[in-house]
Structure 1
Amino acid sequence: MQDSIIKFFINIKRKFINVCKNIDNKYFTKYSIRKNVFISSIIFFSIAMFILNYLTPLLVDDYSFGYINGTETHIVSIKDIIYSMYNYYFTWGGRVWGEFYQQLFTLLGKPIFNVLNTIIYIVNTLLIYYACNEAKKAKVSLYIGINLLIWFFTPNYGQVMFWLSGSSNYLWLITPVLIMILIFRKYSINQDIIKNNLISAFIIFVLGILAGWANENASAGMLVILTLYIAYYYVNNISICRYIISGYIGSLIGFILLISAPGAYVRKAVEQSAVHTTIIFRLFMITYFWVAFVLGMFIILAIVLFIGKRYFDLKKNNSIYQSVIFVMASIGSAYGMIASPTSPERTWFCIVVYLSISIGILYEKIDFEVTDLEESTILMFRRIAVAVMLIAFCNFWVMYLDAIMSTYEVLNQTKAREQYILSEKLKGKLDISTVVISHKYPLLAHHDASYGLDDITPDPNYFSNKALCKYYGLNSIIGVPAKEKQYLN
């Protein structure tokens, strides 16, 4: 009886192994099917991101971008936006391209923003993917893994991805940064990737200016990467062509324009007067955030490095060194924020991106099709990979549904507030008290755009109160707890 039971389970195991081999032979190694799965994963994340963009209403600062900076004049054209950027540069900060996107999307309208913001998310994830992937074949697990790493580890994810103001300053501004990184990374592998002529040199010079003139810690981290790649070219006897030089010079010029903006000193003085923190305290807080936000990514990096070094060829194209480049950039981006009196959690987005590339460069070398490992070892790795991916996807779905419910709740409250304000205006009332939007739903995933943002307050002079007041053409507006108003159910 005992022998029969043992034979039964042995047969089950053999059948399972054969099924896995058949799946592997028919699907995982077949290029056309793998390419279709890759495209399907892009479509999946596009739909997922669009739904959350669609459900996210205007929040906080979003109500204030319809006017030329520092004036009461409505923005009605690109010319007005450029003038507003000029005012912003001299009165508040160097991040003028974030200001450009904020006001452009306000001019175009939220529905258009929802579509464009979804597209730029996909563009950025593909830029990260191609920065990691040296091979021409589609690697589905790498692309999905990049999306999941960004989803799980980006602090205040919704502020970066769905909030119009936050997305304009982080998701959109990292695009030229990633393009520059991709150019330098691909050049280390193939020096003929781009034609070395004056036109290429000029285009990449302009792109470098935009990348350096993005936002402070992302651009600083990019300069670390570009500098280390130039050192990499020198050590490996790779000739440095004109577009690499022009791109690097452009990036330096852009970064100088960013940090030397007259308005940046005005803003720094205001923030220092409001928040008194010492350099030692900021150093401690950055280290604390490092542990809280990205320690898990370092654990993943260590595991991938161990497996890659033990079983695969990580020496090819100096993958370990290139991975270290992005680790160094993440450290530089993080501790570069010590110069700022305040650093919102969403500023860690670029650090998560750089660490994702670092992990992806090593993970891309784990290729079962070109290894001489035994079939049993390969099968073991595939089982582990599938198990990890399933667990990660289950967590993603739970968090995603949580984000949808909490975002939908905020959307309903925002619509009800707007109806109330408009009805009060029809009665001739221009001094209004309205409900502070809050999460009645027990927020768990913290992935909706409103998480971590301040709504209006009882103080009519608070910045979000004044923004909402200006948007609706009111004299004043104050926020009160939900229990004091009953029009929201």
Structure 2
Amino acid sequence: MNNQKSWIVIFSIFLFMFIFNYLSPISFGDDYVYSFIWTGQSIYEPLPQNVSRVASWQDLFNSQWSHYFTWGGRTVAHVLAQFFLWKGKALFNFANTLISVFLVFELYWCINKGKVTFQFDYRTIIWAFFLLWACSPGFGVIFFWITGACNYLWTNVILLGFLIPYFCKYYNSERIISANSFYVAFAFIIGVLSGWTNENSVCWILLALAVFIYYCKQHNNLEIWMVSGFIGLMTGYALLMFAPGNYNRLSSSQSNWKFLTGLNEHLSMMMLIYIFQFFLWYFVIRSLFSLRNVSNSNLLLKKDVLLVKVLVIVGFCMTGIMLFSPGFPPRTGFSGLLYLIVAAGILLRIQKEYNVLLIQESAKKFLFCVSLVFFIFTAGFTFRNYYCAYVQVERMLAEVKGISADKRDSVITVKAILEPSDNEGLYTALHTLSYKLSEDEKEWKNVAFARYYGIKGIRMLKEKDYNDRETEQK
């Protein structure tokens, strides 16, 4: 019965995420740019007139080859993005929903000692998904925006999947996980893909795995696949970090980052991320303080506590290192959040397995009620805003697609998509997406949109300016 409830919950999560994916149109800007073969220009420069859409595997390969040498090293993420933009939003909606649910599975498996099973505890599934919803500033950017999802959601799923066997080995150090040569090669390949994902995440994973591998070698528990996976991870990270395009991107970046003023702004962004994660951090730190003496009396408990400490440090460093990055958008805190969720989940499992009181039953009930109200409130407002944006964007796209051939050689004007106010944005827990084009048809976002639909140009005016213009024309 418990597992039946779990699969009902899982299906509900799938349906919930699919609805929001469906209501999220292709985003103006990066999504439209990455629909074309990369020609070597900065993303902030208008696409050239003769640019071609990605329409084959050869186009995709040529695009990413150019992208790697002229703009950035996140090849794994952008191969995925260009693939979905080539094949269409419908495929992305389904695949992205599946990968969102799979992320919840991975969190569950990591919490439960790396054991891959499809027998779930529905309460843990609900808890993990709620934390993703409640503690991710910019949830929509991470989970529904095609380019954003491929850069953050999909890459973190690859990296967590790579780590699951290491979790399993950590808890079963005396057991041989696999001596199969195929598994050794497979670990290397997945390691390369995992390392080739995200700059601020992989470095800390490499450091933690290096210590773990050294420990296993000292105790004669090291397996070949662990080394091949680690080498693959280093290889992928080197391909990511030393991509020639990274240097071009830095030189043409729109952010003129200066250490003192930039650090001040980045500290504000870091505080925003930690405000979203406050109760999670409070529970983890308080629990570790409570276990500071108990853990020494039980070796298995001590192993759990040690892993929690490592995950907390790794999660903190993943976000903290962004203080020294030229840009620090809220979505960059997502990677660190995942390891914090795993750490908190392990602590909850410790409470159940070892009968250690880390959170009062009354507090759990209170937090459940508050969380339920928070989820219903924010999900309702988020759905409302996504639906309104979907209707407006679809209406605008129908207008653009319906332009007659003789008018496609002129710049068209459309009404701006109404966006939620600051208060409405807070009601959604900052989960909304923005659909803006400029009033200037020469802006890079406008040009990419115009190239996509085969028109000369497009301008987006605020409702008042649009109505005034319509009145003048009449």
User: Residue 18 of structure 1 corresponds to which residue in structure 2?
Assistant: none
Match of 1:470 among 432, 451, 457: 451
- Which secondary structure state, in structure 2, belongs to the residue aligned with residue 150 of structure 1? helix
Compared CA separation, residues 311 and 188, structure 1 to 2 (3 A): closer
User: Residue 27 of structure 2 corresponds to which residue in structure 1?
Assistant: 59
User: Residue 330 of structure 2 corresponds to which residue in structure 1?
Assistant: 345
Calculate the aligned-residue CA RMSD, in Å: 2.7
Could you tell me which runs of 5 or more consecutive residues in structure 2 were left unpaired when the two chains were aligned: 40-49
Query: Partners of 1:411 and 1:448 in 2: how far apart?
Result: 17
1:223 aligns with 2:206: yes
Compared CA separation, residues 175 and 299, structure 1 to 2 (3 A): same
Q: Give the greater-gyration-radius structure (CA).
A: 1
Match of 1:321 among 278, 288, 306: 306
Once the two structures are overlaid, the 10-residue window that deviates more, 358-367 or 245-254, is 358-367
1:45 aligns with 2:13: yes
Once the two structures are overlaid, the 10-residue window that deviates more, 45-54 or 220-229, is 220-229
Following TM superposition, by how much is the alpha carbon of 1:179 offset from its aligned partner in structure 2, in angstroms?
A: 1.3
- Which secondary structure state, in structure 2, belongs to the residue aligned with residue 483 of structure 1? helix
Alignment of 1:136-175 (within 5 A): 138-175=120-157
User: Residue 441 of structure 2 corresponds to which residue in structure 1?
Assistant: 460
User: Residue 341 of structure 2 corresponds to which residue in structure 1?
Assistant: 356
Deviations along 1:446-482, whole A, 9 cap, x unmatched?
A: 467653x461111222221111111111111112102
User: Residue 84 of structure 1 corresponds to which residue in structure 2?
Assistant: 63
Query: Partners of 1:181 and 1:393 in 2: how far apart?
Result: 31
Compared CA separation, residues 184 and 284, structure 1 to 2 (3 A): farther
Matching residue's letter, 1:269? S
Following TM superposition, by how much is the alpha carbon of 1:190 offset from its aligned partner in structure 2, in angstroms?
A: 1.6
Following TM superposition, by how much is the alpha carbon of 1:38 offset from its aligned partner in structure 2, in angstroms?
A: 1.9
Deviations along 1:30-85, whole A, 9 cap, x unmatched?
A: xxx22222222211211111110111111112222332111712222222211111
Once the two structures are overlaid, the 10-residue window that deviates more, 65-74 or 403-412, is 65-74
CA contact (8 A) 1:98 1:168 kept: yes
Query: Partners of 2:299 and 2:12 in 1: how far apart?
Result: 31
User: Residue 38 of structure 2 corresponds to which residue in structure 1?
Assistant: 69
CA contact (8 A) 2:21 2:97 kept: yes
Alignment of 1:261-276 (within 5 A): 261-271=243-253, 274-276=254-256
Alignment of 1:63-462 (within 5 A): 63-70=32-39, 72-134=51-113, 138-191=120-173, 192=175, 194-233=177-216, 237=219, 239-271=221-253, 274-295=254-275, 296=278, 297-305=280-288, 316=301, 318-367=303-352, 371=355, 381-426=360-405, 428-429=407-408, 430-440=410-420, 442-446=424-428, 450-451=432-433, 453=434, 455-462=436-443
Query: Partners of 2:264 and 2:420 in 1: how far apart?
Result: 34
Matching residue's letter, 1:420? E
Once the two structures are overlaid, the 10-residue window that deviates more, 149-158 or 255-264, is 149-158
Matching residue's letter, 1:104? F
CA contact (8 A) 2:196 2:239 kept: yes
Following TM superposition, by how much is the alpha carbon of 1:176 offset from its aligned partner in structure 2, in angstroms?
A: 1.6
Deviations along 1:376-416, whole A, 9 cap, x unmatched?
A: x89x9444323322321221121111111000111111011
Compared CA separation, residues 267 and 160, structure 1 to 2 (3 A): same
CA contact (8 A) 2:194 2:233 kept: yes
Matching residue's letter, 1:226? L
Following TM superposition, by how much is the alpha carbon of 1:193 offset from its aligned partner in structure 2, in angstroms?
A: 6.3
Once the two structures are overlaid, the 10-residue window that deviates more, 290-299 or 255-264, is 290-299
Query: Partners of 2:398 and 2:143 in 1: how far apart?
Result: 27
Query: Partners of 2:463 and 2:211 in 1: how far apart?
Result: 54
CA contact (8 A) 2:185 2:228 kept: yes
The alignment-based identity, stated in percent, is 24
Compared CA separation, residues 346 and 225, structure 1 to 2 (3 A): same
CA contact (8 A) 1:308 1:314 kept: no
Normalization by structure 1: what TM-score?
0.84
